[in-house]
């Protein structure tokens, strides 16, 4: 078979790229080694984690907060098997949806491992070892990422788990030790804490969520600690010893010092992800990678080999599903002769805990480092009418605007529904809005979005409700 485009990997980057290419008239095929489409995100990432976050939040609400609302349901009982089935329903619905969309757009789907045999040639190796060759004008590599391993620590997905195992636990661990206070550690740590686990988070750095705004990180950590999560920052793990039941985690201060042992029933290793290119045959064609193993591309997603492109987690930039999707659309449009483009300055980043954390654009630390003058407007949810009515007053909105032009440079939110709230400011930033533009836009009352308007007013020191 001969194609205009073969996409290897059907995660959010790959399947979206294939659909957009087909829409633009390219004869397109995808190759996927997993039994279902949707990649990490739909199978073992975004979707199952959000289903468990949703269900565990409902459990905690019923357990701790319903009575405050005057609803007496007694003590709710957890049926973890059913909760896991609920999660799987969400995953299946989504992966089947992708299968349907590929068919609807007449994208040929091959099941098997894709290996680049040369420019314009992709070999599909099926599970039983059989193989056949496909020919194509262009190849897009969208093979995603894999878990970063901790040297000397074996992930068995039972006692020592990655995010994949942490999404599948059949029992609530009494003691969960999380290594890494990044997005996965805090999201999945929240899930199991809500369901009854004692959660201790060990982080090498002196803060949670490195890369996010420092003030956001500090306040968020305080909120999670209030919820019962225990943090050991500036701490390194020197060993994990698995016993018949559970494990012992040995830690010591990052700068060196006395070692301490922490007992755990389950240990979650969540120290980041690495690009995945195993068995892809990059060496056959000489596709260049960088020091972190990421495929190197130019601004048009082209690798150093003519006709081979790459997108998503396997290249540089934030490892986020929506970033991979937008790159998928951009490269398809470029291949069809259009001007595909992604604005990397406006990629929202959301942590789906309670409260949520959401940010877009520059942090205060980045602006200071780059010597960019800025004004900050902050508004707490304690002063927002809807948050007060809902009893969700933790957190704040912070808007950073250029000192001279008032253009919005970054927005950082900790608060209920922050992940939805951030969309408004992402659109505003795409249109190069000033804080004044947001401040003068009428926001419905009573909504949490009014906190954004007030933060925009606060940039110019004229917030009304504080
Ligand atoms: P992937 O989704 O990793 O897809 C790559 C696909 O390629 C896989 O299906 C793989 O089987 C296939 N593949 C690899 N090699 C080959 C080969 N040689 N031949 C054939 N197929 C191959 N991001 C968010 O934006 N929001 C979230 O809420 C979020 N939650 C997450 C939660 C967890 C627990 C994890 C682990 C990740 C989460 N992410 C989230 C990150 C998100 O999953 C990734 O950024 C996204 O999946 C990247 O998409 P991709 O298409 O680049 O790669
Ligand atoms: P991460 O990069 O977000 O966080 C890893 C954390 O581990 C960092 O705080 C780091 O300092 C720490 N760390 C690294 N080595 C360590 C060590 N040896 N000991 C102790 N701490 C150590 O990575 P994470 O949480 O694994 O997630 C991977 C990626 O998946 C994220 O970067 C994100 O791109 C994506 N993701 C996105 C989600 C979302 O958008 N809501 C949800 C989950 C994952």
Give the model confidence (pLDDT) of 245-301 as tens digits: 999 999 999 999 999 999 999 999 999 999 999 999 999 899 999 999 999 999 999
Q: Would you call 227 helix, strand, or coil by DSSP?
A: coil
Distance 180 CA to ligand 2 centre (A): 6
Q: Which two tokens stand for residue 107?
A: 């994208």
Residue 339 parent element (H or E): none
Residue 194 parent element (H or E): helix 183-194
> Measured between alpha carbons, how far is 123 from 8 in angstroms, rounded to an integer?
11
Q: Which two tokens stand for residue 283?
A: 């060496």
Q: Within the chain, which residues score under 70 in pLDDT?
A: none
Distance 100 CA to ligand 2 centre (A): 32
Ligand 1 within 6 A of 342 CB? no
> Measured between alpha carbons, how far is 287 from 361 in angstroms, rounded to an integer?
31
Please enumerate, by residue number, every residue annotated as part of a binding site for NAD(+): 180-187, 203, 272
Rg of the chain over Cα atoms, rounded to whole angstroms, equals 23
Distance 182 CA to ligand 2 centre (A): 4
Please say whether the beta carbons of 142 and 310 come within 8 A: yes
Q: Is the alpha carbon torsion for 385, 388, 389, 391 positive or negative?
A: positive
> Measured between alpha carbons, how far is 262 from 245 in angstroms, rounded to an integer?
14
Q: Do domains 3-147+274-336 and 160-271 have the same CATH topology?
A: yes
Nearest to 30 by CA among 109, 138, 98, 85: 109
Chain-centroid distance of CA 58 in Å reads 21
Pairing of β 198-202 and β 175-179: parallel
Pairing of β 2-8 and β 28-32: parallel
> Measured between alpha carbons, how far is 120 from 257 in angstroms, rounded to an integer?
56
Pairing of β 374-380 and β 396-402: antiparallel
Ligand 2 within 6 A of 179 CB? yes
Looking at 65, 132, 300, 445, which residue is catalytic? 445
Q: Cα separations (Å) of 449 from 84, 254, 436, 443? A: 33, 40, 15, 7
Residue ranges with strand state E in 158-307 = 160-161, 175-179, 198-202, 230-232, 235-242, 247-253, 260-264, 266-269, 273-275
> Which ligand neighbours the alpha carbon of 182 most closely?
2
- What number does the ligand 1 atom closest to the CA of 14 have? 51
Torsion of CA 203, 204, 206, 208, to 10 degrees: -40
Q: Which two tokens stand for residue 13?
A: 């980057």
Looking up tokens 């150093």, which residue turns up?
304
Active site residue 445: yes
Is domain 160-271 classified as CATH 3.90.1150.10?
no
Nearest CA to ligand 2 atom 24: 272
> Measured between alpha carbons, how far is 333 from 323 in angstroms, rounded to an integer?
15
Q: Which two tokens stand for residue 368?
A: 């200071």
Q: Which long-range contacts (CB under 8 A, 24 or more apart) does 185-188 make?
A: 185/268, 185/270, 186/220, 186/224, 186/229, 186/351, 186/353, 187/49, 187/53, 187/351, 187/352, 187/353, 188/49, 188/52, 188/163, 188/268, 188/270
Map out the domains of the chain as residue ranges. 3-147+274-336, 160-271, 348-459
Exposure string of 340-379, with b = 16+ CB inside 10 Å and e = fewer, is bebeeebbbbbbbbbbbbbbbbbbbeebeeeeeebbbbbb
ipTM above 0.90, yes or no: yes
Question: Could you tell me which CATH class the domain 3-147+274-336 is placed in?
Answer: alpha beta
> Measured between alpha carbons, how far is 94 from 101 in angstroms, rounded to an integer?
11
Burial class, 69, CB count within 10 angstroms (exposed 0-12 / middle 13-18 / buried 19+): exposed
Ligand 2 within 6 A of 182 CB? yes
Q: Which two tokens stand for residue 7?
A: 């996409």
Q: Is the alpha carbon torsion for 313, 318, 319, 320 positive or negative?
A: negative
Nearest to 211 by CA among 120, 108, 290, 319: 319
Is domain 348-459 classified as CATH 3.30.390.30?
yes
CB atoms within 10 A of CB 124: 21
Looking up tokens 């950073």, which residue turns up?
400
Burial class, 21, CB count within 10 angstroms (exposed 0-12 / middle 13-18 / buried 19+): buried
Please enumerate, by residue number, every residue annotated as part of a binding site: 50, 114, 143-145, 180-187, 203, 272, 313, 319-322
pLDDT in tens, 214-228: 999 999 999 999 999
Ligand 1 within 6 A of 357 CB? no
């Amino acid at each position: 078979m001969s194609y205009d485009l073969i996409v290897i990997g059907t995660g959010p980057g790959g399947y979206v790229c294939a659909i957009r290419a087909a829409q633009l008239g390219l004869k397109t095929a995808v190759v996927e080694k997993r039994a279902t489409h949707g990649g990490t995100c739909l199978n073992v990432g975004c979707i199952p984690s959000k289903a468990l976050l949703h269900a565990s939040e409902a459990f905690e609400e019923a357990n701790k907060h319903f009575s405050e609302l005057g609803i007496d349901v007694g003590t709710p009982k957890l049926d973890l098997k059913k909760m896991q089935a609920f999660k799987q329903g969400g995953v299946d619905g989504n992966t089947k949806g992708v299968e349907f969309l590929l068919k609807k757009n007449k994208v040929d789907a091959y099941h098997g491992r894709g290996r680049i045999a040369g420019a314009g040639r992709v070999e599909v190796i099926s599970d039983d070892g059989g193989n056949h060759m496909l020919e194509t004008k262009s190849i897009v590599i969208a093979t995603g990422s894999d878990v970063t391993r901790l040297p000397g620590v074996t992930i068995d997905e039972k006692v020592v788990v990655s995010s994949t195992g942490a999404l599948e636990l059949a029992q609530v661990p009494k003691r969960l030790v999380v290594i890494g206070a990044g997005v996965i550690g805090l999201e999945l740590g929240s899930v199991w804490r809500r369901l009854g686990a004692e959660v201790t988070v060990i982080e090498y750095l002196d803060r949670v969520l490195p890369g996010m705004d420092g003030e956001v990180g500090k306040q968020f950590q305080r909120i999670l600690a209030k919820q019962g999560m225990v943090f050991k920052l500036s701490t390194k793990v020197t060993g994990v010893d698995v016993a018949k039941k559970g494990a012992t985690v040995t830690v010591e201060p990052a700068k060196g010092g006395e070692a301490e042992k922490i007992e755990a029933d389950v240990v979650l290793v969540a120290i980041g992800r690495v690009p995945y290119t195993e068995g892809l045959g990059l060496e056959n064609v000489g596709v260049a990678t960088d020091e972190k193993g990421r495929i190197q591309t130019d601004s048009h997603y082209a690798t150093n080999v003519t006709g081979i492109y790459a997108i998503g987690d396997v290249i540089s930039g934030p490892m986020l599903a929506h970033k991979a999707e937008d790159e998928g659309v951009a490269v398809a449009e470029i291949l069809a002769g259009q001007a595909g483009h992604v604005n990397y300055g406006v990629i929202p980043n959301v942590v789906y805990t309670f409260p949520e954390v959401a940010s877009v654009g520059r942090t205060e630390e980045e602006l200071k480092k780059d010597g960019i003058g800025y004004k900050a407007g902050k508004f707490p949810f304690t002063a927002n009418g809807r948050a007060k009515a809902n009893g969700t007053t933790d957190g704040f909105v912070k808007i950073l605007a250029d000192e001279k032009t008032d253009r919005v440079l970054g927005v950082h939110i900790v608060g209920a529904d922050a992940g939805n709230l951030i969309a408004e400011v992402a659109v505003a930033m795409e249109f190069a809005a000033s804080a004044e533009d947001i401040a003068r836009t009428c926001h419905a009352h009573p909504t949490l979005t009014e906190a954004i308007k007030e933060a925009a007013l606060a940039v110019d020191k004229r917030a009304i409700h504080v």
